[in-house]
Amino acid sequence: MDASDRDRRADEARAAADRLAADGIDGVALTWVDTTGVTRVKAVPLARLPHAAAWGAGAAPVFDTFLVDDGSVLGQFAGGPVGDLRLHPDLGRLVPLAASPGWAWAPAERFDQAGEPHPLDGRWLLQREVGRLAGLEVRCGFEVEWCVSRGTGDAFVPATTGPAYGMIRLVELAPYLRDVLTALAAQGVAIEQIHPEYAHGQFEVAIAPDDPVGAADTVVLVQETIRGVSAAHGLRPTFAPKVVAGAVGNGRHVHLSVLRDGVSLMSGGGGRVGLDRDGEAFVAGILSRLPALLALGAPSVASYLRLLPSLWAGAYACWGVENREAALRMITGPAANLEVKCVDAAANPYLLLAGLLAAGRAGVVDGALLPEPVPVDPSTLTAEERAARGIERLPTSLAQAVAAFEADEVLAEALGPALVDTVATVRRGEIVLFENVDDETVVAATRWRY
């Protein structure tokens, strides 16, 4: 980042600040997502926005090694009290927060003091992976599940009494859900649908597809908007993988479609179920690396309390057409896309999408082929039948996922040694944190962290 870049950023920020001042904005929240999946923030007064745009707001690099309980670990490349980074707002995503009056939001890009991108920054890494797609275009969208509790206590008290997917839930919380939709629309977020989900007090919004960086930015904005609307209604939301031990948890599924020259490679081709040849290879690349990708997409000890068979969580490494028990669900029709079901909101969305793009790209380079699709719940097959079909259970613990992650050469090349070491160090830190405790303790410790 040279002097002309800084001058340009400052000029753009002054114009933006004038517009925000007219809307009654006094402060700007600059967010990034840490390795453990928690959204962190530094905020600046509106008058300070031009300086933050040009020179950044200070933040310690130790956040790369924070754990879910706000403790930290020390890795080979990150951790400890030394160093400083600068948070520069992406002014292209700057928006007033409809659920937090007087505040605006922008995702932060993390640079060092010399103006070079921070190599552990997930957003920068995702931008780099998008640039490596070699003629392919990927569109992404998230499904966001959350559970709503009454009051502010640590116990979860469902805010609705109605049945799963029941209209009763919508009626009981109609003003709340209306305000969620209104706030998101005011911020320019396109929502395709909203509905009650299976777990107690659970709802879901499906976000319209966008480019990968835009999709990751938007899912952060959506979750913090839901948090703001909930607070205004005296409610408390949680996006945690497991809210009640033994019950269904929250996922945050990813939908991916692959295009070339604006034409979808997910239908109308000669590969499996109409996939174009490169579309099939992209999906096959993801499928082959799912165990390793879970270190990014199911990164908490609590994630493996959710990732269980016959709960529509996608606990087996297989794919199927409209099969909600497969880790990869192929959705057909005019908007054909791939749904990755085995991931949750403990994931840093930038790191997860970067990993998915790297895995898909490697599949295309290798000309990977998909096995036969699985048309049933894999858990209803015998062990022998699963073995004959090549269906394996995904990791059942975070430790297993970390081992697969560290052994994967494609992800190692895409992420780089510093980030691989930092991710593995943080994951092992959480494993130690919850060593020899029961499920109830894990759930209670993570319920309100996401």
Measured between alpha carbons, how far is residue 240 from residues 207, 250, 394 in Å?
Answer: 19, 6, 20
Q: Is residue 124 part of a domain?
A: no
Amino acid (1-letter code) at residue 405: F
- pLDDT tens readout for residues 53-84: 999 999 999 999 999 999 999 999 999 999 99
| Contacts of 19 by beta carbon, 8 Å cutoff, 6+ apart | none
* pLDDT (average), residues 138-147: 98
Q: What is the pLDDT of residue 137?
A: 98
- Asked whether the beta carbons of 156 and 243 are under 8 A apart, the reply is yes
Report the CATH number that the domain containing residue 88 is assigned in CATH.
3.10.20.70
Mean of pLDDT values over 38-53:
98
Specify whether 311 is located in the same domain as 188: yes
- Cα 89 to Cα 10, 86, 92, 131, 257, distances in angstroms: 11, 10, 9, 21, 28
| Residue 268 reports pLDDT greater than 90 | no
**Count of C-beta atoms within a 10 Å radius of residue 268:** 12
* Residue 364 Cα to chain centre, angstroms: 23
Instruction: Verify that 58 and 160 share a domain, yes or no.
Output: no
CA-to-CA distance for 241 and 249, rounded, in angstroms?
Answer: 5
Give yes or no: residues 283 and 150 share one domain: yes
Nearest in space to 342 (alpha carbons), one of 273, 382, 292:
292
Q: Which residues contact 174 (CB under 8 A, 6 or more apart)?
A: none
Q: Contact, 228 vs 142, CB < 8 A?
A: no
- Among 93, 119, 145, the domain-final residue is 119
Overall domain count for the chain:
2
Same domain, 226 and 93: no
Distance CA 106, CA 429 (A): 30
Could you tell me which of 274, 260, 283 has the C-alpha nearest to residue 361? Answer: 283
Among 85, 119, 153, which residue terminates a domain? Answer: 119
Looking at residue 85, its pLDDT comes to 97
Q: Is the domain of 138 the same as that of 69?
A: no
Tell me, yes or no, whether 352 and 206 share the same domain.
Answer: yes
**Dihedral angle computed from the Cα positions of residues 296, 262, 187 and 236, in that order, rounded to the nearest 10 degrees:** -30
Judge contact between 87 and 52, C-beta under 8 A.
yes
Angle at 346 between CA 440 and CA 169, to 5 degrees: 75
Amino acid 334: pLDDT:
85
Of 212, 209, 324, 336, which Cα lies nearest the Cα of 271? 336
Whether the predicted pLDDT of 413 surpasses 90:
yes
The last residue of one of the domains, among 80, 101, 119, is: 119
Amino acid at 283: V
* Model pLDDT, residue 408: 98
Residue 353: phi and psi, rounded to 5, are: -65, -35
Same domain? 158 vs 286: yes
The residue range of the domain holding 77 is 3-119
The verdict on 157 and 247 lying in the same domain is yes
Q: Is 148 domain-assigned?
A: yes
Q: Phi/psi of residue 156, each to 5°?
A: -90, 120
Distance of CA 92 to the CA centre of its chain: 20
Each residue's pLDDT tens digit, 272-303: 888 999 999 999 999 999 999 999 999 999 99
Share the mean pLDDT of the chain.
Answer: 97
CATH of the domain at 209: 3.30.590.10
